[in-house]
């Protein structure tokens, strides 16, 4: 029973049925359509439905309210794979050479043997510990939480006045630096026992977590999982909108905390420890993800003039954040630069070494957004190209994320226009992921299936090219060969989306280079972050004009640079400070306030670009294909 006026998504949720809202409940994506089989509803919007759909009883669950008893049929919801395949998220990681926790690690474990109290020495328990700590090291007054004060007496007595404490001290032998007690354990814990911390990267799509022994720097487990917020919006804008509705903010916060909890439990299971053994978390993520994690309203990120509530988050405890690790664990959210250049990028700049190189370097993190940094050890400029999630499979009719069943690479025969493809997991295809779309578009372009304007040539002698409901389209996979039971196609509308996305990113490069008076040719290396980047075929990405045309050996694919940065900051206070410096050194260029951007964007709305001289290798390849044809 729900009141009249309840949204169908809410009514369904109360009945235990979750309906995905990829656009965050804005009525834009049309993917929450359900069929009303009995009863009356009121549609606030049916923008994404045809008259036939509405006649058949279809309604958008996020835009339709009940007006009495209703019966609805909910189509099978897009399943989110329970766990990402490990090979797509694992990152090779080496402990920084010469890692010396005593010098650089803020978290330290200290064992103390105290004298028991007596009628001659009635010092209170906490003063007794503080005195022992002062004898151990020249430390400022140590702060203890009420929670730990409540445990202190029992632990001291149970451990026969021997105790192990875990401290977070910005520096030792520094009488001014604050020291905070995290944990009390009875008895003397072995010096070799691991001291656990986690590095977390909260991506819009994927949350990654590494379990690290802070004493050795070794990563004991790497796990990743889809951000459970996806069901409430696939991109940051949808999430921000969703978070502003009713208890949407709390819901999104709970969802991502739930994802992290699951990951923490998984790594703890692997090494057989309790989550409360984890004493520190360092978190990277874009500004929206960090705001939503902390329950800070993200509205201003979306609205002119696009400012965050906070870029430099104060140090928090797990209890305050709601993280399911030791409640007094230090939680360090890394600092961001702006609404669309967050801590994922500052962490990525650190781990990629961009802030420390002599070479003029272009750093790209292609994820749900396209953040770009140009610079070297002397200067750093950055933009966020609101690329949209086309390369993550969203906004494309048969797009999907890079999971089992996604076509990840395509080759088109220049004579027959017949495609061949590779599918993740080697199964029947379900759709096309980002790398598959890039590869497909490049092949279609080079074989003349689309022209430089992105138009599909409908005059080709192949049944693969045809006109469908949404105009011209190319059939990548016939229904008989697909796992979905229908043809998998790419439409001209999809191609327009992809071209706008790649144009935004390329225009970002152009604006950055212009802002420092350089041409793109001056770039000496290109570092590509993001797990997506790992699977891009550089040649094809250049062919569609997504990446600048330069020798392949100037490209390096670094995988998830954000979590690598979080890992380095977790280990080493100097790395942490370097990220802070990076955040303050980076000059952010707001594209919506920049006239040159629109010009650069328009010029890039072609395959590969209006100015073909910028893409000499593509020009050559076109010549070769054409010559052959």
Which residues would be at the binding site for its own copies (CB under 8 A)?
117-127, 143-146, 149-150, 152-154, 157, 176, 294-297, 299-300, 304-314, 316, 320-321, 338-339, 588, 590, 592-593
Cβ neighbours around 379 below 10 Å, total:
13
Quick one: 133 or 477, whose CB is closer to its own copies? 133
Please state the closest distance from residue 196 (CB atom) to its own copies, in A.
24
Q: Which is nearer to its own copies, 276 or 300 (CB)?
A: 300
Q: What is the 3-state secondary structure (H, E, C) of 94-110?
A: CCCCCCCHHHHCCEEEE
Q: How far apart are alpha carbons 200 and 342 in whole angstroms?
A: 14
Residue 583 Cβ, how far from its own copies at the closest point, in Å? 11
Q: How far is the CB of 249 from its own copies (least distance, A)?
A: 9
Pair 488, 482: CB distance under 8 Å: yes
CB 337 to its own copies: min, Å: 9
Contact 491, 470 (CB under 8 A): yes
Q: How far apart are CA 526 and CA 373, in angstroms?
A: 10
Structure-block tokens of residue 397: 């009719």
Is residue 500 exposed (0-12), middle (13-18) or buried (19+ Cβ within 10 Å)?
middle
242: enclosing H helix or E strand: helix 236-243
With 0-12 / 13-18 / 19 or more C-beta atoms within 10 angstroms meaning exposed / middle / buried, residue 259 is buried
CB 562 within 8 A of CB 334: no
**Omega of the bond leading into 180 within 30 degrees of 0 (cis):** no
Q: Which of 141, 216, 178 is nearest to 315 (CA)?
A: 178
CB 384 within 8 A of CB 369: yes
Shortest reach from residue 233's CB to its own copies, in Å: 20
Can you read off the two tokens belonging to residue 124? Answer: 């209170």
Nearest to 216 by CA among 94, 351, 352, 92: 94
Instruction: Compute the distance between CA of residue 242 and CA of residue 230 in angstroms, rounded to an integer.
Output: 11
Closest to its own copies by CB, 306 or 557:
306
How far is Cα 531 from Cα 558, in angstroms, rounded to an integer? 8
Looking at the Cβ atoms of 294 and 424, the one nearer to its own copies is 294
Closer to its own copies by Cβ: residue 163 or 477: 163
CB of 170 to its own copies, least distance (A): 13
Closer residue to its own copies, CB minimum distance, 305 or 426: 305
CA 64 centroid distance within chain: 31
- Neighbour count for residue 104 (Cβ, 10 Å): 16
In the complex with its own copies, the residue whose CB is nearer, 149 or 624, is 149
Question: Three-class SS of residue 39?
Answer: coil
Shortest Cβ 159–its own copies spacing (Å): 14
Q: Which is nearer to its own copies, 371 or 392 (CB)?
A: 371
Structural contact between residues 563 and 350, judged by C-beta atoms closer than 8 angstroms: no
Rank residues 307 and 629 by Cβ distance to its own copies and give the closer one: 307
Considering the complex, state which of residue 38 and residue 593 has its C-beta at the smaller distance from its own copies.
593
Nearer to its own copies, 135 or 592 (CB): 592
Q: Shortest gap between Cβ of 294 and its own copies (angstroms)?
A: 6
Measured distance CA(559)–CA(561) in Å, rounded: 6
CA distance 419 to 410: 7
């Amino acid at each position: 029973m729900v009141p009249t006026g309840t949204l169908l998504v809410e009514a369904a949720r109360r009945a235990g049925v979750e309906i995905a809202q990829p656009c965050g409940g804005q009525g834009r994506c049309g993917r929450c359509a359900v069929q009303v089989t009995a009863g009356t509803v009121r549609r606030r919007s049916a923008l994404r439905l045809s008259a036939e759909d509405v006649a058949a009883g279809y309604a958008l669950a996020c835009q339709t309210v009940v007006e009495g008893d209703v019966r609805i049929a909910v189509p099978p919801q897009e399943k989110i794979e329970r766990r990402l395949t490990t090979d797509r998220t694992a990152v090779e990681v080496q402990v920084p050479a010469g890692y010396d926790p005593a010098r650089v690690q803020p978290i330290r474990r200290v064992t103390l043997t105290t004298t028991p109290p007596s009628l001659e020495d009635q010092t209170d328990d906490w003063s007794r510990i503080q005195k022992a700590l002062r004898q151990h090291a020249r430390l400022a007054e140590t702060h203890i939480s009420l929670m730990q004060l409540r445990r202190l007496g029992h632990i001291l007595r149970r451990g026969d006045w021997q105790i192990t404490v875990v401290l977070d001290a910005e520096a030792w032998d520094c009488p001014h630096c604050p020291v905070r007690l995290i944990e009390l354990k009875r008895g003397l814990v072995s010096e070799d026992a691991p001291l656990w911390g986690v590095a977390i990267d909260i991506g819009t799509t994927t949350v990654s977590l590494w379990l690290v022994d802070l004493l050795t720097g070794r990563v004991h487990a790497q796990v990743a999982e889809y951000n459970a917020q996806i069901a409430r919006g696939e991109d940051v804008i949808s999430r921000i909108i969703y978070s502003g509705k009713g208890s949407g903010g709390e819901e999104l916060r709970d969802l991502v905390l739930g994802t992290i909890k699951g990951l923490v439990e998984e790594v703890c299971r692997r090494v057989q420890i309790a989550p409360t053994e984890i004493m520190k978390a360092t978190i990277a993520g874009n500004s929206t993800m960090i705001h939503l994690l902390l329950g800070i309203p993200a509205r201003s990120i979306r609205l002119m003039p696009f400012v965050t509530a906070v870029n430099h988050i104060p140090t928090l405890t797990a209890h305050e954040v709601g993280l399911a690790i030791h409640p007094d664990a230090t939680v360090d959210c890394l600092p961001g630069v702006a609404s669309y250049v967050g801590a994922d990028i500052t962490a990525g700049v650190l781990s990629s070494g961009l802030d420390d190189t002599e070479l003029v370097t272009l750093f790209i993190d292609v994820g749900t957004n396209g953040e770009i940094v140009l610079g070297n050890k002397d200067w750093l400029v950055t933009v966020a190209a609101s690329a949209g999630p086309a390369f993550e499979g969203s906004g494309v009719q048969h797009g999907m994320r890079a999971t089992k069943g996604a076509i990840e690479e395509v080759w088109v025969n220049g004579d027959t226009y017949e495609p061949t493809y590779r599918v993740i997991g080697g199964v029947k295809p379900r759709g096309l992921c980002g790398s598959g779309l890039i590869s497909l578009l490049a092949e279609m372009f080079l074989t003349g299936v689309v022209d430089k304007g992105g138009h599909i040539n409908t005059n080709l002698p192949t049944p693969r090219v045809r006109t469908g409901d949404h105009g011209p389209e190319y059939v990548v996979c016939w229904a008989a060969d697909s796992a979905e039971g229908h043809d998998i196609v790419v439409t001209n509308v999809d191609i327009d989306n992809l071209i706008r996305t790649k144009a935004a990113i390329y225009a970002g490069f152009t604006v950055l280079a212009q802002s420092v008076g350089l041409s793109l040719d001056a770039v000496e290396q290109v570092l590509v972050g993001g797990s997506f980047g790992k699977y891009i075929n550089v040649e094809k990405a250049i062919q569609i004009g997504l990446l600048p045309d330069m020798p392949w050996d100037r490209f390096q694919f670094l995988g998830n640079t954000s979590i690598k940065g979080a890992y380095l900051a977790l280990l080493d206070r100097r790395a942490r400070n370097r990220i802070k410096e990076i955040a303050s050194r980076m000059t952010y260029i707001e594209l919506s306030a920049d006239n040159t951007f629109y010009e650069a964007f328009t010029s890039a709305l072609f395959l590969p670009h209006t100015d073909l001289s910028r893409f000499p290798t593509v020009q050559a390849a076109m010549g070769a294909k054409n010559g052959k044809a």
